[in-house]
């Protein structure tokens, strides 16, 4: 082998060796990590902590390019679900012995320090960061000892930590009663650490092996009571109110709103006592069918208008004709003198002649309904009953103020991460609660039709469910969701206050008692129960005269059944022949009476509507990595 060949082989071997060495060393030198992490904690007599974190990192321009991120939790949750927010005041940040730029950013449960400048990139190699801050409310005050349970590094770092150390210094040189340490990821109870120094007033913990990413060192040390001043009861109360301000506002405001409604009900919403109800054989003097329904319900609805149409027919002012599925109403000359509330109905309804009750004519029908309602309002509202709408409306204002207060407070104290879902949850949950309350009220009053029931149920399930999901997302505990749950829970009270605060006047109570007595007469199917009262003789004329009232009081079917024999003997044409015709015939009085009652009410409803319209102790061995105060984590940027 020539000298040249030998030299070539030697050169190749050296090159391979250099590459192998470089390849073997590259991962070690190029790996970004925390070379050392020291948390130096000085406990002050007032309970504050002065913390200096010295973090030495290896930067290689990948994750650590401009600097590091340090996340520090400041919001914790007690076992009872209430919040604790500790103080956190950054006093200074340095890099390699020089002051360093940093920005403070809000997190859902704390603060992020973005250390470094967007315009400045770090050179590769080690860099030492020193973060100095003051934090409060970290000491645990127990019956026998006081304790610092301290998450020295946090378990949120994306880098491995070669060595971590925690140093705790007391304000007085007293011995430590007990101590403990934990390593590993959140919740772990590893013991890869040791106490390297302990003397009165000072204890130092250090890890015995590197910590992988998302792992940390947590320490606990307890000492005799009396070294650190405990908070007073007034301080504790003030802290609780500050930490849980939205919860306090929700509970106090909710209680205040309920108290307001109680006062409103006592002052204006209680009905006068009922009198003795006996069957009466006629309506209160001067009351039309529409007036009877309006007063008995203390409000207007579609059946009020339907009863007025039938009453106008009986009084000779119009005719009603059922043709197929349509109902046509035509003016009729003559008729008895109409009371003031009904006087404008024919004028509005027949402004252009006969009208078919269908949506195409909704303007005329709605105008007639409005005229009747205004007439009834003018005649009876405030005289026979009071709506007390002002009291109910004031409750709405209070409810809106309460909801706004908890939302604004949550945004101010928790930020948009929690405030955003709270707004959605409160809004959607309240819509669902409103729908559920009105649906239940309608069912109890017998006013809910199938379509309305389906729509109400959809609103209740969809909006209510979405609201609860959003409120759940806005809080870790049930108490945390209270700021949203209270307005949602009060929404049904707010909605139902409008009908429930209505109350009759003493005069109105007497009229309502008479109406109820008349309803008992109209709606009693067993005639023998009325015989001892000498009721009027059953005739077709009596049936026709009181039919509008039976419709108004929801007893038209019973009224028709009582007269079925009389009407059959006299011929159905004897009743309503002059003002009502039907292409389906009138052989069944119950059938066409129901058509005039429920059917006409449904027709009015559809045709008058426009289309489209923390914690425990850690030093006693019951802790874990990630427990206690401090903690957090970080990364590079």
Are residue 144 and residue 264 in the same domain, yes or no? no
Domain membership of residue 23 (yes or no) is no
CATH of residue 116's domain is: 2.60.40
Residue 618: per-residue pLDDT = 60
pLDDT tens for residues 209-266?
Answer: 999 999 999 999 999 999 999 999 999 999 999 889 999 999 999 999 999 999 999 9
Q: Is 626's pLDDT higher than 80?
A: no
**Predicted confidence band at 622 (pLDDT cuts at 50, 70, 90)?**
low
Output 367-371 pairs: Cβ under 8 A, ≥24 positions apart.
368/305, 368/344, 369/302, 369/305, 369/604, 369/608, 371/344, 371/345, 371/347
Are residue 97 and residue 197 in the same domain, yes or no? yes
**Predicted confidence band at 468 (pLDDT cuts at 50, 70, 90)?**
confident
Q: Is 149's pLDDT higher than 90?
A: yes
Are residue 573 and residue 447 in the same domain, yes or no? no
Give the 3-state secondary structure of 433-502: HHHHHHHHHHHHHCCCCHHHHHHHHHHHHHHHHHHHHHHHHCCCCCHHHHHHHHHHHHHHHHHHHHHHCC
What's the CA gap between 460 and 409, in Å, rounded?
27
**Predicted confidence band at 616 (pLDDT cuts at 50, 70, 90)?**
low
Domain membership of residue 375 (yes or no) is yes
Domain membership of residue 309 (yes or no) is yes
Domain membership of residue 307 (yes or no) is yes
Query: How many other CB atoms are found less than 10 A from the CB of residue 238?
Result: 12
Domain membership of residue 22 (yes or no) is no
**Predicted confidence band at 635 (pLDDT cuts at 50, 70, 90)?**
confident
Are residue 201 and residue 257 in the same domain, yes or no? no
**Predicted confidence band at 26 (pLDDT cuts at 50, 70, 90)?**
very low
Q: Is 633's pLDDT higher than 90?
A: no
Residue 442: per-residue pLDDT = 76
Domain membership of residue 625 (yes or no) is no
| Most confident among 28-32, 442-446, 463-467 (mean pLDDT) | 463-467
Residue 426's closest CA among 612, 254, 594, 610?
Answer: 254
For residues 69-94, average pLDDT: 90
Are residue 183 and residue 243 in the same domain, yes or no? no
Domain membership of residue 24 (yes or no) is no
Residue 307: per-residue pLDDT = 94
**Predicted confidence band at 2 (pLDDT cuts at 50, 70, 90)?**
low
For residues 273-292, average pLDDT: 93
Q: How far is CA 213 from CA 154, 275, 350, 504, in A?
A: 11, 80, 83, 73
Give the distance between the most distant pair of CA atoms in the chain: 145
Are residue 336 and residue 368 in the same domain, yes or no? yes
Are residue 243 and residue 222 in the same domain, yes or no? no
Q: Among 437, 469, 501, identify where a domain stops.
A: 501
Domain membership of residue 1 (yes or no) is no
Query: pTM, whole model, 2 decimals?
Result: 0.75
Q: Among 477, 501, 525, identify where a domain stops.
A: 501
Residue 444: give the domain boundaries: 238-270+389-501
User: Which has more confidence, 189 or 289?
Assistant: 289
For residues 176-180, average pLDDT: 95
**Residues 474 and 480 sit within 8 Å (Cβ to Cβ):** yes
**Residues 196 and 208 sit within 8 Å (Cβ to Cβ):** no
Q: Among 501, 532, 551, identify where a domain stops.
A: 501
Are residue 542 and residue 582 in the same domain, yes or no? yes
Are residue 158 and residue 50 in the same domain, yes or no? yes
Total number of domains in the chain: 3
Are residue 38 and residue 68 in the same domain, yes or no? yes
Q: Is 299's pLDDT higher than 50?
A: yes
Are residue 363 and residue 440 in the same domain, yes or no? no
Q: Is 441's pLDDT higher than 80?
A: no
Residue 587: per-residue pLDDT = 58
Cβ within 8 Å of residue 288, ≥6 positions away: 308, 311, 339, 341, 342, 548
Residue 18: per-residue pLDDT = 41
**Residues 454 and 607 sit within 8 Å (Cβ to Cβ):** no
Are residue 214 and residue 174 in the same domain, yes or no? yes
Residue 555: per-residue pLDDT = 92
């Amino acid at each position: 082998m020539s000298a040249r060949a030998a030299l070539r082989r030697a050169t190749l071997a050296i090159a391979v060796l250099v590459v192998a060495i470089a390849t073997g060393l590259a991962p070690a030198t190029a790996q970004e990590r925390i070379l050392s992490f020291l948390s130096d904690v000085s406990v002050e007599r007032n309970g504050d902590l002065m913390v200096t974190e010295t973090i030495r990192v290896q930067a290689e321009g990948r994750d650590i390019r401009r600097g590091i991120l340090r996340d520090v939790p400041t919001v914790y949750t007690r076992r009872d679900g209430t919040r604790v927010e500790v103080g956190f005041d950054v006093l200074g940040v340095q890099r390699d012995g020089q002051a360093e730029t940093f920005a403070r950013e809000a997190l859902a449960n704390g603060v992020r320090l973005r250390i470094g400048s967007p315009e400045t990139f770090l050179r590769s190699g080690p860099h030492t960061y020193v973060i100095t801050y003051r934090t409060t409310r970290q000491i645990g005050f127990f019956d026998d000892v006081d304790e610092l349970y301290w998450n020295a590094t946090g378990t949120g770092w994306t880098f491995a930590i070669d060595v971590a150390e925690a140093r705790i210094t007391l304000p007085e040189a007293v011995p430590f009663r007990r101590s403990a340490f934990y390593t590993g990821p959140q919740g772990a109870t590893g013991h890869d650490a040791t106490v390297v120094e302990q003397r009165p007033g000072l204890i130092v913990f250090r890890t015995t092996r590197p910590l992988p990413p998302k792992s940390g060192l947590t320490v606990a040390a307890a000492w005799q009571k009396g070294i650190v001043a405990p908070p007073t009861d007034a301080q504790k109360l003030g802290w609780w109110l500050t930490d849980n301000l939205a919860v306090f506002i929700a509970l106090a405001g909710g209680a205040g709103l309920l108290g307001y409604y109680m006062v409103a009900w006592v002052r204006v919403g209680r009905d006068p006592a009922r009198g003795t109800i006996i069957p009466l054989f006629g309506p209160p003097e001067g009351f039309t069918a529409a007036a009877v329904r309006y007063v008995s319900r203390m409000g207007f609805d579609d059946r009020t208008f339907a009863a007025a149409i039938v009453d106008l027919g009986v009084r000779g002012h119009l005719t009603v004709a059922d043709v197929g599925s349509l109902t046509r109403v035509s003016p009729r000359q003559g008729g008895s003198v109409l009371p003031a509330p009904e006087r404008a109905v024919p004028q509005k309804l027949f402004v252009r002649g006969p009208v078919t009750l269908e949506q195409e004519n909704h303007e005329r029908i709605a105008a007639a309904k409005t005229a009747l309602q205004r007439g009834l309002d003018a005649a009876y509202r405030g005289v026979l009953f009071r709506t007390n709408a002002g009291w109910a409306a004031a409750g709405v204002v209070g409810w809106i103020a309460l909801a706004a207060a908890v939302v604004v407070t949550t945004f101010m104290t928790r930020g948009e991460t929690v405030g955003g879902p709270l707004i959605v949850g409160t809004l959607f949950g309240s819509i669902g609660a409103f729908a559920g309350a009105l649906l239940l009220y309608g069912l109890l009053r017998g006013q809910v039709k199938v379509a309305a029931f389906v729509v109400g149920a959809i609103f209740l399930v969809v909006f209510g469910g979405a609201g609860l999901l959003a409120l759940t997302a806005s809080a870790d505990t049930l108490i945390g969701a209270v700021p949203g749950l209270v307005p949602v829970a009060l929404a049904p009270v707010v909605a139902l206050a409008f009908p429930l605060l209505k109350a009759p006047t003493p005069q109105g109570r007497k009229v309502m008692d008479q109406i109820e007595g008349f309803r008992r007469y109209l709606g009693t199917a067993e005639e023998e129960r009325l015989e001892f009262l000498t009721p009027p003789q059953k005739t077709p004329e009596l049936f026709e005269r009181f039919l509008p009232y039976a419709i108004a009081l929801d007893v038209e079917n019973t009224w028709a059944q009582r007269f079925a024999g009389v009407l059959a003997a006299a011929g159905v044409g004897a009743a309503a022949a002059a003002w009502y015709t039907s292409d389906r015939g009138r052989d069944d009085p119950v059938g066409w009476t129901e058509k005039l009652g429920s059917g006409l009410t449904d027709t009015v409803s559809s045709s008058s509507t426009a289309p489209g319209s923390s914690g425990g102790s850690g030093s006693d061995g019951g802790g874990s990595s990630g427990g206690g105060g401090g903690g957090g984590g970080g990364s590079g940027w």
